[in-house]
Amino acid sequence: MSGESNIVYIGRKPAMSYVMAIITSFTGSDAKDITLKARGRSITTAVDAAEITRRKFMKELNVGKITIGTEEIQQEEGGTRNVSIIEITLTRG
Amino acid sequence: MSGESNIVYIGRKPAMSYVMAIITSFTGSDAKDITLKARGRSITTAVDAAEITRRKFMKELNVGKITIGTEEIQQEEGGTRNVSIIEITLTRG
């Protein structure tokens, strides 16, 4: 689908779930790149998913820009806390 | 000390331990940059440590190159398994 933004949000599922999402997202569109977004403990899963996809399934993929940052999360009990985020862009070579 | 390589290895301690190590490493030398290296579950801690140092303690720091990769770990029971790694370079602005 055109107009679709090529973002895969990484959560708490096993890395292989996101590997499948990345592959589907690339093969289901003519997107040249896809950005993985993760925060907190899911950051490791994002790196795992990027590495597994690139090494085992789509060897033509390159790791593009990687950025880190901090997001303020609104807590239910009031106040905020900071959580780290990562964005990893994968590019079809 | 000159000749020292400016690497902080991130392990399983709380992020603040590594924040202190990064600050000490910068203030104890005239290093222009320091690289954080982490693997597996410590990847999130590396991102946390980089973000906390940069936002709360050394606002002149910039995030430089970030790379991800895969390392083969030799297992005690034989065989190998793959683990994701990250390297984050912090540069004094």
pLDDT tens string for chain A (93 positions)? Answer: 444 569 999 999 999 999 999 999 999 888 899 999 999 999 999 999 999 999 999 999 999 999 999 999 999 899 999 999 999 999 997
Contact A44 B48 (CB under 8 A): no
B46 assigned to some structural domain: yes
Say if CB B48 and CB B56 are below 8 A apart: no
ipTM: 0.90
- A81 inside domain: yes
Q: Is A37:A10 a contact under the CB 8 Å cutoff?
A: yes
Please give the pLDDT value at position A60. Answer: 95
Surface-to-core class of residue A75, CB atoms within 10 Å of its CB (0-12 exposed, 13-18 middle, 19+ buried):
exposed
**Which of A84, A86, A90, A91 to mutate against chain B (most B CBs within 10 Å)?**
A84
Q: Which domain holds residue A40?
A: 7-92
Domain count, chain B: 1
Q: Do B51 and A66 touch (CB under 8 A)?
A: no
Residue A1 domain-assigned (yes or no): no
Closest-CA distance of chain B to residue A66, Å: 6
pLDDT of B2 above 60: no
In a domain, B2, yes or no: no
Is residue A33 in some structural domain? yes
Report the residue from A50, A63, A84 with minimal CB separation from B51.
Answer: A84
Look at residue B3 and tell me whether its pLDDT is greater than 70: no
Tell me how far apart the alpha carbons of residues A75 and A55 are, in angstroms, rounded to a whole number: 38
A76 DSSP 8-state letter? T
Q: Which amino acid would we find at residue A59?
A: K
* H helix or E strand, kind and range, residue B27: helix B15-27
Which chain B residues contact residue A37 at CB under 8 A?
none
Let me know if residue B1 belongs to a domain: no
Give the global pTM: 0.91
Instruction: Write the CATH number for B25.
Output: 3.30.110.20
- B75 φ, ψ to 5°? -95, 145
